[in-house]
Amino acid sequence: MTPILIAEQVLNGLQSGVMLFLMAAGLTLIFGVMGLINLAHGSLYMVGAFAAAATAAVTGSFVLALVAALAAAAAAGALVERLVIRRLYDRDHLDQVLATFALILIFSEGTRWIFGSFPLYLDIPEALSGPVTLPGGIQYPLYRLFIIGMGLVVAALLFWLIARTRLGIRIRAGENDREMIAALGVDIARLYTLVFALGAALAGLAGALVGAIQSVQVGMGEPVLILAFVVIVIGGIGSIEGALVGAILVGLTDTLGGIFLPQIFGLFMEPAAATQTGAALASMAIYVLMAAVLAWKPTGLFGAKS
Amino acid sequence: MSRERILGAVVLLALGLVPLAAHVMGEPFTITLATRAAILALAAVGLNIALGIGGLVSLGHATFFGIGGYAMGILASHVQNYEPMFEWPFLFEGSTSMPFIWLVAVLVSALAALLIGLLALRTSGVYFIMITLAFGQMFYFFSISWSAYGGEDGLSIYVRNGFPGLNTLDPIQFFGLCYAVLCLVLLGAHLLARSPFGLALGAARQSPDRVQAVGLDPKRLRLVGFVISGAITGLAGALFADLNRFVSPTMFSWQTSGEIMVFIILGGVGRLFGPVVGAAVFVMLEHFLGDMSEFWHIWLGLLLLAVVLFARGGLVGLIAGREKAHD
């Protein structure tokens, strides 16, 4: 267990953390503003990844692929909001869960219908491939660094959008009192569509960025969706800061646990048993983290007291 | 008798008679489909206690379904491989007796429901949904990485476990067993809903403050309801594993949780026979649509969407009208 290995794993954890943030931020915004739990958010992640892979296959351009991912996910989000989601704002959470579960089925099978069951591959662009040497002699893939940077830039933009722009003011006002801002002449229906499309675009971007290091396949969104839920539970629903802190915590715990728990058990167990026990416990680490936060602060680290 | 009651009796009777007819005509596959419907209905009857009476939207009931399945898989695999499960404090070789397996499945899933409930019930609303979903996923990943019991590949049990006095490998006898369990649990659920506890649990959904004001603890009511609910779904899991003679992490997956919930919604939330109608319709759709199109989940999704958006009260509600006492 060298310092270099640890540094590498911390970077890996950070990378998965910022991608989780893109998912969780959209979910938490949508919940905060519209009071909607959206299980189909993972499908928008998948839409982004497929749009990117298809565009890259045709044009060969990674930049165009990212643009296509953003556009396709935002368009799919806006469409779904208009057709289905809009009818769910006044319903209870059970109806929201079921309707968005139905959307997952439709999205997943629809994508399988169009693209087939085999995974697609999205190549890392030439300019971003290969390792770079970081201070301290750490060899690290450039593309993963790019993802971390990209995630942090988007996070900064999002914070700026929420805190400094007119749209951000409306979003925050919508979280507090939707009747009041409707009375002040803000077109609530349009605001909701916009927020939903924004969340969808973030998910689509995450899907495209991660799609280049994993395979692009049907069902890729739901495991990430559930991790994003864990992030939101830890961070507190409706809080973007909470989503960022929670995402980094979950990313680091998941990555470091998977590497180091087997080694820690190896100190006092036989290697085979240690690997097995360590791997089994590592798969539970983030949920244990979630349980600990819940026991301590039921509304999450940054959640409002309900 | 209300229309809902008549509809429920008809569906339950049909579920019992179809396999008998299939048995006479020598079509064992139809019997297997009916057995599947009965077991899935049982799982949904369990969830309906938490969801329908208690208003607890648990998206993690696959946890209990999977625990029941693995209770069967683990106990039977030790007998199958002649490896005692433990030798201390007494020799225990595992078990292939259904009543014992059911007991273990019920107890272990009740314990899991107690632990998850203690944490998840500290919260409510969306938090509760996300947390139950997350714990379900935890068990899913744990079962994948736990290679001692098959890991990702699951466990095959070659001979169906036994029940005293029955030949469980005969499809119609195994169906009869599952059907009897379903009927008993339905009766139990009916009595539970009418019992002081069931009424208090329903009141805790409708108005927790008032329940507290008369001196009852809504949290404790919900916890007990959640435990009973999990135990029943666990029992269904053990039967499901015995039906397939196979357990795998799929039983723990979030799709399983979603599907158990779909049975209830298709049928109608909080209605005694809703889960039975829902599970029967689901199994029929799966069979007939699955034959017609490889992508039958699209149609399932559209149907589900239509039921949620336009037919509140599910299929039972569509036919029998709104339940009088339902809020």
Enter the ipTM: 0.88
Q: In A, which residues are within 8 Å of B261 by CB distance?
A: 97-98, 101
Residue B291 lies in a domain: yes
Per-residue pLDDT at B327: 41
Per-residue pLDDT at B35: 96
As a dihedral over the C-alpha atoms of residue B126, residue B132, residue B133, residue B134, rounded to 10 degrees, the angle is 110
- The model's pLDDT over A224-239, given as tens digits with 9 standing for 90+, comes to 999 999 999 999 988 8
Asked if residues A12 and A260 have their Cβ atoms less than 8 Å apart, the reply is no
Residue B326 lies in a domain: no
Ranges of chain B whose pLDDT falls below 70 = 1, 321-327
Q: In B, which residues are within 8 Å of A32 by CB distance?
A: none
- The model's pLDDT over A246-259, given as tens digits with 9 standing for 90+, comes to 999 999 999 998 88
Cα of A286 vs its chain's centroid, Å: 15
Number of domains in chain B: 1
Best of B53, B115, B121, B126 to mutate (most A CBs within 10 Å, chain A) = B126
Per-residue pLDDT at B323: 53
Q: In A, which residues are within 8 Å of B119 by CB distance?
A: 291, 294-295
Domain boundaries, chain A: 3-218
Chain A residues with at least one Cβ partner in B under 8 Å: 31, 37, 84, 87, 93-95, 97-99, 101-106, 108-110, 112-113, 222-223, 226, 229-230, 232-233, 237, 276, 279-280, 282-284, 287, 290-291, 294-295, 298-299
As a dihedral over the C-alpha atoms of residue A76, residue A78, residue A80, residue A81, rounded to 10 degrees, the angle is 160
**What count of Cα atoms within 13 Å lies in the side-chain half-sphere of residue B5?**
5
Q: Which domain holds residue B85?
A: 3-320
Q: How confident is the model at residue A198 (pLDDT cuts 50, 70, 90)?
A: very high
- The model's pLDDT over A96-133, given as tens digits with 9 standing for 90+, comes to 999 999 999 999 999 999 998 889 988 888 888 888 88
Per-residue pLDDT at A272: 81
Q: How confident is the model at residue A303 (pLDDT cuts 50, 70, 90)?
A: confident
Per-residue pLDDT at A306: 47
Please tell me which residue, A222 or A138, carries the higher pLDDT value: A222
Give the C-alpha separation, B18 to B33, whole Å: 10
Asked if residues B160 and B245 have their Cβ atoms less than 8 Å apart, the reply is yes
As given in the structure block, the two tokens for residue B37 are 């419907």
DSSP-assigned beta bridge partners for residue A141: A131
Residue B325 lies in a domain: no
> To which H or E segment does residue A138 belong?
strand A138-141
Per-residue pLDDT at B322: 60
Q: In A, which residues are within 8 Å of B254 by CB distance?
A: 222, 226
- The model's pLDDT over A135-188, given as tens digits with 9 standing for 90+, comes to 878 889 999 999 999 999 999 999 999 989 999 998 888 888 878 888 888 888
